[in-house]
Amino acid sequence: MKPLLRDLRWILPVSLAAGALLALPDSGGEWWIGWLAFGLIFLLGLTALSALWRAAGAARTLGWILLAALILRLALGVTFRLLLPSAGYETETQNAGYLFFDAFRRDTQAWTLARADQPLWRAFDKSYATDQYGGLLGLSALVYRYLTPDFHRPLLMIAVAALTAVIGIALAWRVTESLWDARRAAWVAWILALYPETLLQGSAQMREPFLLAFLAMLLWGLVSRRRAWPWLAGGMLGLLLFSPGVALFALFAFGGWAWLRTARRQVSWRTALIAAGVILLGLALLWLGLSVGNLAGRSPLEVFTRWLRYSGAWEAYQAERSSGWLQRIFDEMPAGLRFPFLTAYGILQPVLPAALVEPAAWLWKTIGILRALGWYALLPFLLLALLALWRQPERRAWLWLWLAVWLWIALSAFRAGGDQWDNPRYRSIFLLPQAWLAVRAWFWQRESRSPWLGRLLTVEGLFLALFLYWYLARYTGWTQGQVHFFVIAGAAAVLGLTVIVLGLIRDRRRA
C-alpha cells in the first residue's frame, strides 16, 4: 500500500497535466469536463501500470519501455486526429480524423448510444451493427455517457486504448520473464511497444489493443503459480466479450501449449469441464455475433460454414475489383488456385515494394512503408524459429505454438484475402507469441551462429528486389521493361529455392 501512495504523488499531477493537454484538441463542449474525464482515465491507467511495474520488480528497462510505448501511442493518436482532415484523402472517415473506417463507424455509434435514452446493453444486441460482438461498442458508450456527456471526444477512447495496450505490454514482460529471463522479456516488450501495426492499433479506437491485453492476462494466468484463476477468468471474459473467435483460437493455441508443457500431460476433470463451458459459451457468442443479414435464424453449423465461405469469397471479390493486375491474374489462373494464391498474397501484405512505389498521400505512404518494414523484419525470424525450437527443451509445446501462430497467420490472410489492412490487423492480435518465437530465434542464432538467418534474409532480399523492379516498371510506365507477374513470381521462387537447396547441400557436406 505504501508504494502505491508514494506513486500517487506523481501519478495525480501527471494525470491532470496529460488530461489538460488532451482535452485541448476536442475544443467543443466544456473544457473542464474533458479535463476531468481524461484525468480520471489517466489516473486509473497509470495506477494500474505502476502496480504492474512494481510487481515485475520495478525494472528500469521496463519503465522506459512502458513510457515510450504510451507516449508514442498518444502522440500518434493526436497526430492522426489533427492531420488526417488535411493530409489524408477526401473521405468521411479521414475528414473526421479517424485512421480506420471500423473505428469511425463504431465510435460514432457509441456516441449515439451514449446520448440515447437506451440501456448500454443494447450494444450487445443487433441494434448497432458496427460491432459484431458489442464489447468495445459497449465500453465506448459507457465512457462517453458517464465521463463526457456534453461533447463527443474521440481522443478519450484513444487514451483508453493506448493505456490498455501498454498494460498488455507490462503483463507480457511478466509472462516472458517467468518463462526465461529479463533480457528476453525486454526484447519481447520492445517488439510489442514499437511494432508499427500495434502502434497504429493502439493509437485508434480499435479492438486489437484490448485483445492483446486480454491475451497477456490469459497467458499470465497460465504461467503464474499463484492466484492464476482471476487472470485466467479476466482474460477469457474480455476475449469473449470483444471477440469470441479470438477467445476460441486462444484456448486452442495456448491451452495446447500449456498442456504440452506439463510433466504428466494430464487434465483434471474440473479444468476439462471449465474449458468445455468456455468453448460452448464462445461458440454461442460467435454464432449470435455472426447471425446477421442472410445468416439470421440459421443453425450454428450453417452460420459458421457459410460465414467462412462468404467472407473469403467477398474478400477475394474486393481484392480483385480494387486491383487491375489481380483481375488479370485471376482471369489467367485456374479457379481452384485463386484462394491459395490470395492467401499467400495476404501473408505478404503489406507488400514492401508496393508501399515504396505506389503513389499515395505522404502520410499514408509513410504509414504503408513502416507497416511493411515491420512485417518483413519479423517474418524471417518466425520462419527461423522452427529450426531454433527443434532441439530445445519443451520442444513439442513450442512447436505446437509455432504451428498455431502460422495457422492464425494463414487464417487471417484467408479471412481478409489480399486486403492490406484487415489481414495484418488480424495477424497482429497474436503478436505476443510471434514475438516469443522471434526472440527465441534471435537468441538461438546468436548462440549457434547458424547460417540459416543469412539464407532466409537472402531469399527475402531477392523477393523484394524482383518485385520492386516489377512495381517500378508497372507504375513508371516503362513498357519495355514490364514482365508478366508469373515470370517474376517464378523467378523469385526458383532463386529462393536455389538458395535453400545450396544451403542444405553445404550443411550436408559439413556434417
CA torsion through residues 314, 315, 320, 322, sign: positive
Could you tell me if 432 and 220 are in contact, meaning their C-beta atoms sit under 8 angstroms apart?
Answer: no
Q: Is 162 exposed, middle or buried (0-12, 13-18, 19+ CB in 10 A)?
A: buried
> What tens-digit pLDDT sequence spans the chain (511 residues)?
677 788 889 999 999 999 999 999 877 788 999 999 999 999 999 999 999 999 998 899 999 999 999 999 999 999 999 999 999 899 999 999 999 999 999 999 999 999 998 888 888 876 666 777 888 999 999 999 999 999 999 999 999 999 999 999 999 999 999 999 999 999 999 999 999 999 999 999 999 999 999 999 999 999 987 778 889 989 999 999 899 889 999 999 999 998 898 867 666 666 667 777 777 877 777 766 666 655 565 666 666 666 666 565 555 545 545 556 677 777 777 777 777 888 888 899 999 999 999 888 999 999 999 999 999 999 999 999 999 998 888 899 999 999 999 999 998 888 766 678 888 999 999 999 999 999 999 999 999 999 999 999 999 999 999 999 999 988 887 777 788 888 999 999 999 999 999 999 999 988 7
pLDDT at 26: 78
Nearest to 503, CA basis, from 453, 452, 448, 438: 452
pLDDT at 333: 77
Task: Write the single-letter amino acid at 85.
Answer: P
pLDDT at 311: 60
**Rounded-to-integer distance, Cα 378 and Cα 385, Å:** 11
pLDDT at 399: 96
**Three-class DSSP category at 134:** coil
Could you tell me if 137 and 110 are in contact, meaning their C-beta atoms sit under 8 angstroms apart?
Answer: yes
For 245-271, the DSSP string reads HHHHHHHHHHHHHHHHHSSS----HHH
Nearest to 162, CA basis, from 128, 111, 208, 217: 208
Number of Cβ atoms within 10 Å of the Cβ of 296: 10
Sequence spans of domains, the chain: 2-206, 317-450
pLDDT at 305: 66
Whose grid coordinates read 490470395?
342
Cell triple for residue 429? 492480435
